[in-house]
Each structure stands twice: as structure tokens, then as C-alpha cells.
Structure 1
Amino acid sequence: MLKTIPFLLFGFSLVFSQTPIEKCKLPQSHYENIYSVTVDDVKCLAENSPQPNTLFFTFASWCTPCIYHIPSFFVIEKFYNVDLYVLLIDQENNNFTKQSRDMVLETYPDAKILVIKDIESRGKSKKYKDFLKKITPAQFENIDDMSKFILLNRKGEVQLVTNWKDSKDDPDWKDDKPMVKRIVLPLLEKKTQTNQ
């Protein structure tokens, strides 16, 4: 009996030390350091996160607003208890996907990068529209723009899906900090002094 206790404890520690990506068994995409996801996978990541909230940011290297807005996305993690993922929309084996990954990792080497799973015989536009239709609750307007913040709680419930209209009255479209401060941050739990 005593010999089995260390083995059981070791087994439990392996289960508890798994990342949400491992717990959700996400498949590696065509390119290294990118995992393919569906809406269900995104919800699984949120449900298995050690944080109370999980935030996704839609990104592509060719998307100018995405490039301007991604710094706001990453700074959130410094002050809030949140798990962050960059969500790419190009096809999994497209060179733009690799380019987007490289662009993100160059500045944010610890970034967790996902790509929306390809839909057979459909291009990036169709798979992105399908993804947004499935993830966006009825209380949020579903607009297939980029540079979106998609927030889920630990129950896998979608709390927020932003779109360009959330910033339409802000003075500068290149600066999404006013929108983030007004709409995203109030939904997040601040870090305490001890866990910063």
C-alpha cells in the first residue's frame, strides 16, 4: 500500500501540472507553436484555465488594426488575472499564418498562439464567419472584423465579443486603450500586490 501512494501522488501532480492546451488535447497546427481550435476548444481552454477569465485576440499579419492593438492585449496580463491567447484566422497551412506567428513571437516570445481550425473546402473568410457566428452570444452584434477581444469565464461562457463599433467614438482608431479600459477591463479580476 505504501509503495502505491508515491505513484498516485506523482500521477496526480502530472494531471494538475498540465496546461489548458494539454488538457484540451489541442492538435498542433501545420506550423510549430500554433494549435488548431474550434469554438468548443476555445471554451475548453477557458474551462481549464487556472485564471478566472480567458481572453482571445483575433490577429493576422495583414490586419493593420491588429498590429496597432496587440500591445494593449498583452499588457492586460501584467495587471489582471487572465489567460491570453492570440487567435489567427488564416488557413492553417497558409504562409500568412506562419508570418503572423513569427510577428507575434518576435515581440511576445511567450505568446500562446492558436489558429481557427480549417473547414474543408472553405477559405479563411468562411471559417472565420462560422467561428464568430458560433462564439458570439445574441446580446453582442456579430461583425466579422478583426482585432477583436473575446472574453470567456471559467465556465466557458462568452462574456464579451468586441467589434469596431466599440471604438467608433474614440479619437484615434489606432489606439484601442480607451475601448479596452471602458469595455474589457471592468470584466476582469485585478491582480493583488502579492501575485504581481
Structure 2
Amino acid sequence: MKKFVILVGIIIAQNAFSQEEKCGLKKSDFNIYKVGTEDLKCLAKNSDKRNTIFFTFASWCQPCLYHLPNFKKIEKFYNVDSYVLLMDNEGSERIKSAVDYVLKDYPEAKIVILKDREKKNGRKYKDFVKEITPSQYEVITDMSKYIVLNNSGEVQLVTNWKDNKEYPQWKDDTSTIKRIVLPLLEKK
């Protein structure tokens, strides 16, 4: 039984890594793939799933910490590729704590990091949010976003804090997920 589980894990890892290879992604100092807007689209296009979902995360972001379990639940019931998208600078020590935090409870999680900009103007995340957000959505640079792309690489949804209308308590994003994220996804 252990050999079967190991074999399945290797096959899953090979599939995930082949997507990154097809997109020509490079690794950061912490051995995780660096991505930008076009890389997210490439990963979605090269997925064998109908949708790819990214969750913006940083270990210092309180909503991110509360919402990560709900994000990880999605892949249990829906046919999606899911990635945790880290926001800190590529060489930051904060990355290590974010990776450790995610992998502690989700050892199979796919983690990528937003590429640093050549000019360190402090706008890396703001610029990314402007690039990735479709014109029909308001550009809000909060964290703990769900970014859903279809397998054509088209961005279907970028959430923000205003989407959590039913619960004035920011700790629970269940209603947002049920109302606007899950309808875009295919059940297993």
C-alpha cells in the first residue's frame, strides 16, 4: 500500500512539474517557482483541469491565515489545479515562514511566488493586481484573493474584500466562495 501511495504522489508531482516546465518557469532562492501574470495564464492553459485557482497569501496577512483552509477544501471537491501564490519579495525571509506555514497542514500544496520587479518600487503586488483583474471587476489590492482562470488562460474571477457581503466578519469567506467562486468550477 505504501508503494502505491508513493507512486501516486510521484505521478501527481510529475504532472505539476510538467506544467511549470512547459511554461519555462524559474525557481526562486527558496526553490519555488516564480510567476507573473502571463505565467499564471500559461499554467492554466497547460493544466488538464477545466480551471486553475490561485490564492494570494502571505504569513503576515491575517485574512490569508483564516481563509487558507477554505481554499484548500476546494480542491477536495472540485476538479481544479490550485496554487498558493506568495506575495513577499523572492529573497525575503518571510517566504520561508509562509512556505513552512502552508506545508505544515498541506504538505502536497503547490506553492509559487510572485516575481519581483526589476525596479523595486514597492508596487509589485499593486501592479500584478491591476494586470490580472479583468476590466469588469474593481481593482482592489487586498490580500487573500481567489483568482480563477479557465483552461484557455482567461481570468474568470478575481475576488476582493467587498465580495464578502453576507458576513461582516472578515474571518469567514465561506459565503464568498459559495456565491461567486464555486459556480465557476467543475465538481469532481
TM exceeding 0.5: yes
CA–CA distance in 2 between the matches of 1:163 and 1:76? Answer: 18
Deviation at 1:22, TM superposition (A): 1.7
TM-score scaled to structure 1, two decimals? Answer: 0.85
Match of 1:92 among 79, 90, 114: 90
Deviation at 1:171, TM superposition (A): 4.3
Q: Equivalent residues in 2 for 1:67-78 (5 A)?
A: 67-78=65-76
1:132 aligned residue:
129
CA–CA distance in 2 between the matches of 1:56 and 1:73? Answer: 9
**Does residue 25 of structure 2 align to residue 26 of structure 1?**
yes
2:99 aligned residue:
101
Match of 1:148 among 124, 136, 145: 145
CA–CA distance in 1 between the matches of 2:109 and 2:24? Answer: 18
Residue type of the alignment partner of 2:114? I
CA–CA distance in 1 between the matches of 2:99 and 2:47? Answer: 22
TM-score scaled to structure 2, two decimals? Answer: 0.89
**Does residue 183 of structure 2 align to residue 186 of structure 1?**
yes
1:170 aligned residue:
167
Q: 1:17 to 1:176 in 2, by over 3 A?
A: closer
Length, aligned pairs only? 175
2:39 aligned residue:
41
Residue type of the alignment partner of 2:157? L
SS of corresponding position for 1:56: strand
1:121 aligned residue:
119
Residue type of the alignment partner of 1:29? S
1:7 aligned residue:
none
SS of corresponding position for 2:54: strand
Deviation at 1:18, TM superposition (A): 6.0
2:60 aligned residue:
62
Percent identity over the alignment?
A: 60
Deviation at 1:17, TM superposition (A): 8.9
CA RMSD of aligned residues (A): 1.6
CA–CA distance in 2 between the matches of 1:134 and 1:69? Answer: 23
CA contact (8 A) 2:166 2:175 kept: no
Unaligned runs of 5+ residues in structure 1 are 1-15, 192-196
Larger radius of gyration: 1
CA–CA distance in 2 between the matches of 1:91 and 1:54? Answer: 23
SS of corresponding position for 1:119: coil
CA–CA distance in 1 between the matches of 2:168 and 2:102? Answer: 26
CA–CA distance in 2 between the matches of 1:18 and 1:92? Answer: 20
* Divergent runs of 4+, >6 A: none
2:11 aligned residue:
none
